[in-house]
Structure 1
Amino acid sequence: MIDFSDKNFENLLKTMLGNVPGDVDKREESLINTALGPAGYALEDAYINLEQMQAGAHVQTAVGSDLDACAADMGISRKSATAAVRLGVFNVSVPLGARFSTNEASAVSLVVTAVSPEYQLACEMPGSVGNNYTGDLAAITYVDGLTVAQVTDILIPGENEESDDSLRSRCIDHLNSNPFGGNIASYRESVGAIDGVGGVQIYPTWDGGGTVKLSIVGSDGMPASGELIDTVQTAVDPTQNSGQGYGLAPIGAQVTVTAPTVISINVLATVTVANGYTLEQLTEPIQTAISLYIKTVRDSWAVPITAGATDYASVIYRARVMTAILSVTGVVNVTGLLLNNLDADLQLTETGAEQQLPVLGTVMLN
């Protein structure tokens, strides 16, 4: 890329004045200096525009609409914001299209989009805002006999519009991995682009030739709901295990979509606290610190050990848990740390037969 960093007004004016004969007065406020000034500013502005155009022409440096244009050249588009789909609980039958509102200051409205086998409520405002509230609902649509209206589980997480960093990463992965015709990169790219999917582990020939298992998590990093699994199954292989190639999967592929099993990580430790602190004060911050570390493990759950391969590893390291505890202000030392009653790192199972996803369980501190 061309470096335009030295194309500023001062340097441009100096260059122009250097081309003026030496016997002409070039001092500030001289006639030639004053005459060349506007040209210097105009050239500086032109070089700024050139620098922006150059940055916008490359995936690594483009932002906003320029990045969208670069992605479009690869057949990739930015993921739009999507609405959360939540589970509703009511004491009477509620019709399709009935609307409800959350009981909070920044209330959002939800509409009933399915009534069987369970009530599904779609947030009318796209984005992650639809994932936040759980509890009682206020009825916007009158429903006779309604006394209980609640929103509970997240069926399909709502997602905000894809960020520049995420889109840029997908474009670079597309260039480096060469997705084609049902190879590993093709599954990773096409399944990852489905609304609500936050990550996918891919296991080829997990149950014999032609079989493929896709284990997915939602955009919230937690195991995919049954509804999201059905959505992905329909998109990839709607006539499951037929090998007819009606979905994204190529002819001959028998695809099974599933979700990982949640494994609780229980922590037991003896903590020395600094003067002026109590264990009760530090318990919640310690739990938060450990939970944030475990979240980093979940965030990398779908990332293969070897780039482009299908080997995965999820490990909860004792040292990292200890570091998380020690990062809390007021903690002096940690001893006797056990994870699920073991004095060892926890290696989770990530195979075609079983996939595990860690979450924080109980934290017992002495």
Structure 2
Amino acid sequence: MYESMTYEHLMEQLLSNVPTDVSTSEGSVVYSALSPLAYELERAYIEMDVLLKQTYADTSDYDYLELRAKERGLTPIQATYCKKLGVFNVAIPTGTRFLISNLYWTSGEIHATPDGYTGFCYVMTCETAGTGANAVSGELTLIECPDSSFDISKIDTAELLETATIPARDKESQADFLARYHDSFNAQSFGGNIADYMEKIHSIEGVGGVHICPAWQGGGTVKAIIIGADYKEASADLVTLVKNTMDPDDGLGGGLCPIGHVLTVASATGVNITITATVTPQTGTTTAELQTAIEQAMENYLEELRENWEDEYQTNHQGLVVRLAEIESRILNVDGVIDVADATINGTASNLSLDDSEIPLLEEVVV
């Protein structure tokens, strides 16, 4: 708005008001006196322009967007702490701290030991918020035990399992928060409508996306299909957390659901995806050398689809589509690949359309 208010323009305006019989040439007393004022006015106009942009949601910085959105009762979704299972050969005290991959984890409540493991299982909570902990697993190193009487030498095995029971999420990005701010003008959350259910379920830690099916078994029944914040299938613990937070008493109003609404919570179903293709590598490169990069490209594509799972349903009321053309394009973009042919998805040379309750999970890439 104030782009024209430059030092040169301001000097011209200031000097134009000086009587004609007074010297205004560069180096004169009047010129030298007005020059600092023009610089200060230019800076003031720059700051006014910045301030003006902060008053609009579309052009404001994140901090000022938060203030604008707060007027509509909206706050950013904050980063959460990853929870995984830890398996030990002995029972350990609550609050025992471990280290892995430069992240500290604290033992919590005891948990049923998963199939295939023996020993004592506990819920382990990462002390650092954000998605960086979601991919961490392996051998834990003991750092601190709150019970001085506990014999730490008894710990022979301490393993953090791969799958998160409650995956962490990062703080909501500015772009996502801005989109939610704009959406608040189009879909008002109120009294158990779809927008209200989505807002409340999204506020629960570990939830990355949700589909709401109203009146799915008649009036008063609602179904929520969810995925984790890692954009994979929701764990049984996460499904239970959402159910207990929203509707622990089946319609009696003990949670966030309106009285009389019985909520069923289920995880989206993962569909294993096998991708095959004939790849022509560059001279001096073998297909085997390209395998890992191609697998990563396919994983990235399917993850992007999962991240868009909720939006696709909200926009088009349909499930995701795994597209053959996109697969071929992603493989071609891998360094070292010069051509790709005969691509298939689960043995079929066509797009794969999923139900709105399904998400694609990469099982294998054969090239």
Q: CA deviation at 1:199?
A: 1.1
1:188 partnered with 2:194: no
Match of 1:33 among 26, 31, 34: 31
Q: CA deviation at 1:306?
A: 5.3
1:145 partnered with 2:148: no
Q: CA deviation at 1:247?
A: 2.2
2:363 maps to amino acid: G
1:334 partnered with 2:343: no
2:322 maps to amino acid: I
CA contact (8 A) 1:272 1:331 kept: yes
The equivalent of 2:229 in structure 1 is: 219
Instruction: Select between 140-149 and 150-159 the one with higher mean Cα deviation.
Output: 140-149
Partner-residue secondary structure (3-state), 1:360: strand
Distance 1:17 1:193 in 2: 59
RMSD over equivalenced CA pairs, Å: 1.9
The equivalent of 2:246 in structure 1 is: 236
Distance 2:89 2:262 in 1: 41
The equivalent of 2:353 in structure 1 is: 347
The equivalent of 2:360 in structure 1 is: 358
Q: CA deviation at 1:90?
A: 0.8
Q: CA deviation at 1:305?
A: 4.7
Distance 1:29 1:196 in 2: 67
Give runs of aligned pairs for residues 152-163 of structure 1, distance below 5 A. Answer: 152=161, 153-163=163-173
Matched residue count: 352
Distance 1:9 1:191 in 2: 53
CA contact (8 A) 1:94 1:115 kept: no
1:320 partnered with 2:348: no
Distance 1:130 1:330 in 2: 32
CA contact (8 A) 2:85 2:160 kept: yes
Distance change >3 Å, CA 305–CA 128, structure 1 → 2: closer
The equivalent of 1:166 in structure 2 is: 176
Q: CA deviation at 1:125?
A: 2.1
Distance 1:261 1:319 in 2: 24
Give runs of aligned pairs for residues 78-97 of structure 1, distance below 5 A. Answer: 78-97=76-95
Q: CA deviation at 1:144?
A: 5.5
Partner-residue secondary structure (3-state), 1:328: coil
- Structure 2: any 5+ residue segments left out of the alignment? 113-120, 146-150
Distance 2:261 2:21 in 1: 82
CA contact (8 A) 2:222 2:263 kept: yes
CA contact (8 A) 2:324 2:351 kept: yes
Distance 2:99 2:88 in 1: 14
The equivalent of 2:292 in structure 1 is: 284
CA contact (8 A) 1:286 1:328 kept: yes
Distance 1:183 1:324 in 2: 39
The equivalent of 2:124 in structure 1 is: 121
The equivalent of 2:133 in structure 1 is: 130
User: 1:229-282 CA distances to partner (integer Å, 9 max, x unpaired)?
Assistant: 22221222121xx32233222222211111111111101111222322211122
Distance 2:11 2:243 in 1: 64
Distance 1:59 1:196 in 2: 28
Match of 1:175 among 154, 162, 185: 185
Distance 1:290 1:133 in 2: 21
Partner-residue secondary structure (3-state), 2:238: helix
CA contact (8 A) 1:301 1:312 kept: no
Identical residues among aligned pairs (%): 34
Q: CA deviation at 1:312?
A: 2.8
Distance 1:185 1:31 in 2: 67
Q: CA deviation at 1:18?
A: 2.4
Q: CA deviation at 1:157?
A: 1.7
The equivalent of 2:47 in structure 1 is: 49
CA contact (8 A) 2:285 2:336 kept: yes
TM-score by length of 2: 0.90
The equivalent of 1:259 in structure 2 is: 267
The equivalent of 1:246 in structure 2 is: 254
Distance 1:246 1:343 in 2: 50
Distance change >3 Å, CA 306–CA 64, structure 1 → 2: closer
The equivalent of 1:18 in structure 2 is: 16
CA contact (8 A) 2:106 2:126 kept: yes
Distance change >3 Å, CA 144–CA 306, structure 1 → 2: closer
CA contact (8 A) 2:211 2:313 kept: no
1:297 partnered with 2:305: yes
CA contact (8 A) 1:95 1:115 kept: no
Distance 2:135 2:302 in 1: 20
Superposition misfits of 4+ residues, deviation over 6 angstroms: none
Partner-residue secondary structure (3-state), 1:335: strand
TM-score by length of 1: 0.90
CA contact (8 A) 1:82 1:159 kept: yes
The equivalent of 1:61 in structure 2 is: 59
The equivalent of 1:99 in structure 2 is: 97
Distance 1:168 1:56 in 2: 13
